[in-house]
């Protein structure tokens, strides 16, 4: 059983790949919240731990939601995946999901019981996602609407993660400036979602609706780059709220230049596997994005105070 779960995580939720990004995401969320409420010190370890573990479990639940909603399609077109080939059963995955819920609930009660309200709202949206909002056929016929409805989970996860800071400090509602940070999470989610579904022609699979298949490679890449620009714009607004706009723009402009280079290289040559560079860049872009919006300025502010 342990061997099967190890194989499952390696194929569907590789901790070594997702872990660093989730660490950056969660620490920056609580750090950004602390900065906008005027804190001069780094968030306490308890808030950081709950934020990271809860975020990790949320992203695992997102993967589990995919397993349930895509099972029939995977069984038909992607039988090599763990659930269709029998490596793990949907029943087993349901128990994992239940374990995630139990752990998140315990963490929320340990840090601040009021977190349970936001936790329940996020769970409800995750459940609706796993059921395709009971409109699977309608959503599948509208790829953009499908993406938007699924990316809406990102601001909810982000709101909960920031709440691991502002709720324990007595705030009834989140600081208004947090809106920009939530918008960053939404649009960065689209960057990652589009980026992982851009492929070279040789890598397209029957029954798999990638954006490069639906829109064509050029249009898919242009949309991906556009989402990077939109994300960077909201990152600028978020960074301005913590007086860190200049450094953030320098970092993100450099990352955007690299992304443009990778995109043009992908379009010039349709070599098999080349689309992986777009997916990797999406994750690579996300690290400096989140670190410059919370973790790094929080560390620098604490250092200046000392």
Residue range 67-95, pLDDT digits in tens:
998 898 889 888 999 999 999 999 999 99
CA dihedral defined by 178, 102, 121, 22, rounded to 10 degrees? 30
**pLDDT surpassing 80 at residue 254:** yes
Mean pLDDT (whole number) for 112-141: 92
Q: Which tokens is 236 given?
A: 């600028």
User: Could you give the percent of the chain with pLDDT greater than 70?
Assistant: 99
Q: How confident is residue 185, by pLDDT bands cut at 50, 70 and 90?
A: very high
| Highest mean predicted confidence (pLDDT) among 63-67, 202-206, 228-232 | 228-232
Least confident of 1-5, 9-13, 232-236: 1-5
pLDDT, position 53? 97
Mean pLDDT (whole number) for 150-164: 95
Assign a CATH topology to domain 17-36+44-305: Farnesyl Diphosphate Synthase (1.10.600)
Nearest to 297 by CA among 51, 45, 27: 27
Question: Across all residues in the chain, what is the average pLDDT?
Answer: 92
Judged on CB neighbours under 10 Å (0-12, 13-18, 19+), 299 is middle
Task: Kindly list the domain boundaries of the chain, sorted by start residue.
Answer: 17-36+44-305
pLDDT, position 305? 66
**pLDDT surpassing 90 at residue 198:** yes
Mean pLDDT (whole number) for 287-299: 92
Least confident of 29-33, 153-157, 203-207, 213-217: 203-207
State pLDDT tens for residues 13-60.
Answer: 999 889 999 999 999 999 999 999 888 888 999 999 999 999 999 999
Least confident of 46-60, 91-105, 204-218, 253-267: 204-218
DSSP state of 1: -
pTM of the model: 0.92
Mean pLDDT (whole number) for 196-200: 91
Judged on CB neighbours under 10 Å (0-12, 13-18, 19+), 226 is middle
pLDDT, position 181? 95
CA atoms of 240 and 232, how far apart (whole Å): 12
DSSP state of 43: P
**pLDDT surpassing 80 at residue 292:** yes
């Amino acid at each position: 059983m342990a061997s099967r779960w190890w194989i499952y995580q390696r194929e569907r939720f590789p901790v070594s790949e997702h872990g660093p990004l989730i660490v950056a995401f969660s620490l920056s969320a609580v750090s950004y919240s602390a900065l906008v409420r005027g804190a001069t010190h780094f968030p306490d370890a308890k808030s950081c731990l709950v934020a990271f573990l809860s975020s990790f479990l949320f992203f695992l639940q997102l993967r589990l939601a995919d397993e349930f909603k895509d099972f029939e399609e995977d069984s038909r077109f992607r039988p090599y995946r763990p659930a269709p080939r029998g490596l793990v059963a949907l029943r087993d995955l349901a128990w994992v999901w239940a374990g995630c819920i139990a752990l998140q609930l315990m963490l929320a009660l340990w840090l601040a019981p009021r977190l349970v309200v936001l936790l329940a709202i996020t769970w409800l949206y995750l459940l609706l996602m796993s059921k395709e909002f009971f409109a699977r056929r309608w959503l599948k016929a509208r790829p953009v609407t499908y993406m938007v409805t699924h990316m809406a989970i990102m601001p909810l996860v982000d709101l909960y993660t920031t709440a691991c800071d502002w709720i324990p400090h007595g705030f009834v509602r989140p600081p208004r400036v947090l809106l920009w940070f939530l918008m960053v999470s939404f649009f960065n989610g689209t960057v990652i979602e589009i980026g992982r579904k851009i492929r070279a022609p040789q890598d397209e699979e029957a029954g798999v609706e990638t954006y490069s298949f639906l829109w064509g490679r050029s249009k898919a890449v242009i949309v991906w780059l556009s989402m990077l620009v939109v994300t960077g714009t909201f990152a600028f607004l978020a960074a301005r709220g913590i007086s860190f706009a200049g450094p953030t723009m320098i970092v993100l402009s450099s990352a955007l230049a690299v992304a443009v280079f990778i995109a043009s290289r992908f379009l010039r040559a349709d070599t098999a596997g080349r689309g992986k560079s777009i997916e990797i860049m999406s994750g690579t872009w996300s690290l400096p994005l989140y670190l410059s919006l919370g973790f790094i300025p929080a560390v620098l502010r604490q250092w200046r105070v000392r």
